[in-house]
């Protein structure tokens, strides 16, 4: 499957998942749907067959609240049955709202408490390096998540250990849960901040699949790499785009119908 079809399917599944469960975080999932689609269709060396392979790539969804996008990609890649997606956010389901690795093959670490996943990912990258293992480690963080102090401890750590096998992707949609990032805790000169920590920094349109493939394919030798992906929160359904309401709101009634209609038209 190509990345465009994968991104469409991630968005389409996410509408159903959040509609059925009355679950939140549709806009955070739409924001990174293209990044996840590109990762799972041509970058990550992971499959249901190589999950025990110590040389596999590792992906950690540090902004774990957008777990629907990961579950949808895993279902499309054969890690979990597609029918299971509709249990997302349901009581007792293994597909919890925030990504969980318990009972979900393909999820490497449970996340949701922002600022943690990327730190564990850095530790995994160091373990790979020490064990002389192949494979790269990727972590997807939110820009609001970059307001967590632990993210910057991780940045120091990854540079100190020259983790060239480690890539952090920042989903830079300029929004967080209740407002714009800049109105909460400013993130000005985000590129310069990562550079000041000694990272190689690249920027890309987070919805341009060719650009994403280009920056994600290149691997650094010594420095850890940060890719700042410029995105639109809610991307794919026009009334959700850049609209803070859709961080938590779930699509019901006329909103559900309109979201489905727009996505079907865009296929
Ligand atoms: C440690 C922690 N504090 C607060 C929250 C509540 N929370 C969930 S999503 C979110 C906003 C995240 O913003 P961002 O990282 O920019 O993600 P995006 O805008 O892409 O959804 C917050 C504060 C959390 N999950 N973890």
pLDDT score, position 216? 97
Which of ligand 1's atoms lies nearest the C-alpha of 148?
Answer: 1
8 A C-beta contact, residue 30 and residue 236: yes
**Rounded to the nearest whole angstrom, what is the distance from the C-alpha of residue 49 to the centroid of ligand 1?**
32
- Reply yes or no on whether the pLDDT at 220 is more than 90: no
- Reply yes or no on whether the pLDDT at 174 is more than 80: yes
Q: What is the DSSP string of the chain?
A: --HHHHHHHHHHHHHHHHHHHT---HHHHHHHHHHHHHIIIII----TTSTT-TTS-EEEESSGGGHHHHHHHHHHTTSS-GGGGGGTT-TT-SS-SS---TT-TT--S---STTSHHHHHHHHHHHHHHTT----EEEEEETGGGGSHHHHHHHHHHHHTT-TTEEEEEEE-SB-SSSBHHHHS--TTHHHHHHHTT-EEEEEETT-HHHHHHHHH---SSS-EEEEEE--TTTTSGGGTT-GGGGT----HHHHHHHHHHHHHH-
- Reply yes or no on whether the pLDDT at 258 is more than 90: yes
Structure tokens at 226: 């940060």
Q: Whose CA is nearest to atom 17 of ligand 1?
A: 142
Say yes or no: CB of residue 231 within 6 Å of ligand 1. no
pLDDT score, position 76? 98
Question: What domains lie within the chain, and their CATH numbers?
Answer: 3-266 (3.40.50.970)
Mean pLDDT value across residues 93-103: 95
**Rounded to the nearest whole angstrom, what is the distance from the C-alpha of residue 8 to the centroid of ligand 1?**
24
Say yes or no: CB of residue 142 within 6 Å of ligand 1. yes
| Nearest CA among 75, 69, 60, 70 for reference residue 110 | 60
Q: What is the C-alpha to C-alpha distance for residues 87 and 108, in angstroms, rounded to an integer?
A: 20
pLDDT score, position 5? 98
Say yes or no: CB of residue 175 within 6 Å of ligand 1. yes
Say yes or no: CB of residue 177 within 6 Å of ligand 1. yes
Say yes or no: CB of residue 111 within 6 Å of ligand 1. no
- Reply yes or no on whether the pLDDT at 221 is more than 80: no
Which of ligand 1's atoms lies nearest the C-alpha of 115?
Answer: 1
pLDDT score, position 267? 87
Say yes or no: CB of residue 145 within 6 Å of ligand 1. yes
Q: What is the C-alpha to C-alpha distance for residues 14 and 17, in angstroms, rounded to an integer?
A: 5
**Rounded to the nearest whole angstrom, what is the distance from the C-alpha of residue 216 to the centroid of ligand 1?**
24
pLDDT score, position 159? 98
Q: Whose CA is nearest to atom 7 of ligand 1?
A: 177
**Rounded to the nearest whole angstrom, what is the distance from the C-alpha of residue 129 to the centroid of ligand 1?**
30
Please report where in the chains the tokens 């408490």 appear, as a residue.
113
Which of ligand 1's atoms lies nearest the C-alpha of 147?
Answer: 15
Say yes or no: CB of residue 223 within 6 Å of ligand 1. no
| Nearest CA among 41, 86, 81, 83 for reference residue 59 | 41
Q: Tell me: the pLDDT tens digits for 75-85?
A: 999 999 999 99
pLDDT score, position 129? 97
pLDDT, the chain, mean: 97
- The fraction of the chain above a pLDDT of 90, given in percent, is 98
Residue 133 backbone dihedrals phi, psi, to 5 degrees: -90, 150
Q: Tell me: the pLDDT tens digits for 16-65?
A: 999 999 999 999 999 999 999 999 999 999 999 999 999 999 999 999 99
pLDDT score, position 222? 87
């Amino acid at each position: 499957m190509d990345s465009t079809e994968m991104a469409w399917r991630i968005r389409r599944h996410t509408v159903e998942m959040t509609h059925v469960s009355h679950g939140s975080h549709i806009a955070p999932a739409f924001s990174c749907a293209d990044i996840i689609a590109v990762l799972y269709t041509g970058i990550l060396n992971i499959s249901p067959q190589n999950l025990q392979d110590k040389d596999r790539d590792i992906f950690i969804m540090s902004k774990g609240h957008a777990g629907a996008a990961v579950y949808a990609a895993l279902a499309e890649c054969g890690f979990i049955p597609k029918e299971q997606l509709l249990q997302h956010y349901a009581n007792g389901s293994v597909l919890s709202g925030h990504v969980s690795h318990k009972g979900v093959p393909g999820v490497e670490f449970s996340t949701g408490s922002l600022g943690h996943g990327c730190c564990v990912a850095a530790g995994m990258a160091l373990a790979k390096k020490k064990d002389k293992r192949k494979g790269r480690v990727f972590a997807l963080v939110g820009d609001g998540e970059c307001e967590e102090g632990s993210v910057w401890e991780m940045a120091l750590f990854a540079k100190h250990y020259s983790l060239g096998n480690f890539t952090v992707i920042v989903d830079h949609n300029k929004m967080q849960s209740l407002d714009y990032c800049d109105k909460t805790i400013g993130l000005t000169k985000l590129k310069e901040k990562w550079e000041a920590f000694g990272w190689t920094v690249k920027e890309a349109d987070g919805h341009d699949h060719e650009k994403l493939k280009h920056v994600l394919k290149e691997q650094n030798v010594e420095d850890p790499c940060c890719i700042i992906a410029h995105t639109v929160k809610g991307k794919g359904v026009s009334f959700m785009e850049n609209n803070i309401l859709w961080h938590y709101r779930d699509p019901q009634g006329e909103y559900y119908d309109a979201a489905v209609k727009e996505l079907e038209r865009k296929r």
